[in-house]
Chain A
Amino acid sequence: MNFNLLSTEIATALFGSVLLILSLVTGKDARRGLGHATLAGLLVLLLITFTQYGINSGGFSGTWILDDYAVFMKQVFIIAAILVVFAGKSYVEDFTGNCNEFYVLMVFALLGMMGMASAGDLITLYVSLETMTISFYILVAYNLTSGKSAEAGLKYLILGALSSAVILYGMSLVYGAAGTTLFAKMPPVSVASPVLLLGAVMLVAGFGFKIAAVPFHMWSPDIYEGAPTPVTAFLAVASKAAGFAAMLRVFLGGTPVAPDNWLGIIAVLAAITMIIGNLVAIPQTGIKRMLAYSSIAQAGYILVGLMAADPAGVNGVLFYSMIYAVANVGAFAVVIAVERATGSDEIAVFGGLWQRQPLLASVMTVCLLSLAGIPPMAGFVGKFLLFSAIMDQGIYWPAFIGFVMSMISVYYYLRVALVIWRDEPKDPAPIAVESGMRLAVMAALAVTVVLGVYPAVLSDLSLAAAKSFFGM
């Protein structure tokens, strides 16, 4: 057994346990220290992942795959977690009662995501998925003083359990028809039986829930709105990326569905997700709900990359996941700061933000432009990679829908920017930005701008990762 394949996960599990022990032995007044310890640990984990590039092998009877693809995805999760902790530290410290478990649960959620990226069979995948989801159930309901948070937690628990049940049923059908749980040994497409197809459809529905694709998206606006904002950021970014990481493994690692059917079902999902996500985002008045619908739409764009099902498409998915993670967490970081200062998450409270805190105003604008895919922000490059992958195969309509919907999305993204730069502030008092938050938003800003102008830094890495996924 080659334990080097598991070194990131072992380190993460150890780190989570140590964090829990630390929270037990220190008093309740030592919370700040715990946040710093979490950051230090996450940075070490990020460094460890860099040593894992180029290993490209599987182990443990094929149930575990460590290729560059998995490593890249793990870095997306870790970077998202680092940014969320930086931006959310003070927000979490404001909670009444004990906030120690918050970091511990975040680390264990991270562990689950890592497992999802590396899973080589259905059982490893499911266990990892549940590790992540159960941590999130608690995190979403974490603000004990808020009824909305409790409601969101309960909704997420019930709907999440339902979607897990659908996934599990789908897995049992796939196993029954294929006779194996290993993705690599799934039968070739020519012998796909109806039972296998049914199982695959159930898997699509279950994962569709996790990535919040239409028509399985109903949960996300309510839960994003009710959850504590740092959790919303983590949920919208890392949990979604993990869902995609697992989806790619299941459907491209060993395609149980015939290509024609496959393309059809994913194409329809991608199209309606892009259309409905973007259209419903327009009338939203709450920033968290608006970002929830925007993240639904973003899932639609990423699904187009999945639809391409070739290295170029996977490259698009990987690149866009990273860009989306950074820009979305950047936007949510600003929401966290404004929410702490004003106690509201209405778009209207962003009025005149540039007078109150120019840094937050600029970061919000840049991140929203990146999400909208306006050059020269990184989001444009990401969308370019996603849509060019499918257009190279001679299929133009998904890209067409993507372009039109991106144009529509500019409207609601820029509406927030308009409020920020045009309106007069109701309360001209400047908003304080503490060091952690400053670091998080500046990092998001820098990455979004630099990768927009010079994407090769990341796209070389993601292309290598995408090739490793197909064993090239």
Chain B
Amino acid sequence: MAVRDHLRTLRLSAWLGWQIESNWARPLIFLTYSFIRPIAATLILVIMYLIIKQDVASEPALFSYVYLGATFYMFVSSVVFGITYVIHADREHYQTLRNIYISPISLYVYLIGRATGKVLLAALAVIISLTFGILVLGLPFDPLLVDWPLFLLTMVLGLACLIALGLALAGISLLTAKHSTSINEGVGGLVYLLCGAVFPITVLPAWGQAIGLTIPVTYWLELVRRSLYPGEGIELLGGLQDFTDGTILLFLLVSTVAFTALSLAMFRRADRVARQRGKLDMITTY
């Protein structure tokens, strides 16, 4: 299929996804709904932090570590959820998955396109959350110190990795009943737990650290923190202080490529099984 066809699928499915996401309410109400949930999730961690540590100023590097992890985690839930939910929405709610299957488009491109709106909203939520952190909570931040090239490269690789994760889970969703909320909650928990999203992975038992080091999200979050706070001591907290930025970038690249290959294989296998078992039009009504 020509690149032009893929781009058209991407554009139209992104438009469709955005309409489904947003046209049920007025723009202001829609935006409020979109931001309250992820920001509340971050605030839970902030409150927990403040209960124990009392203030931000005493350990600014630790607070930055936690806050950045919690904030950029919004991408994990949005991108992964954005892709997996499409399967259940199209299969059971709109009952159009069959039509999508028989249309002359790439299902991968369609799924990624449908998630694009979520990615944009997550990006906006991250910006709002960072602004709130800087203005209200005293999160230290200097845009002149940020390593922007590293940050942008990290974000591109990180989003690619999250899309790959989303595709793998979309494959699993093809085989299950309406469990996408639980799947995303569970995978979210996995990332929180093993990837050092909100605490250094050194807190985990050795086997947990070993698993965490195989997941690209660990390197993505570490590089996001390092690029936003170069030389501020944040690199000493995550348990990866022995590695340079370049080495971690290489780890991220290699693990993302491996993860993407694995995810595509998982999706293909799940797709085949779903067709064999007649699950493409399954409806969960209990």
Tell whether A pairs with B.
Answer: no
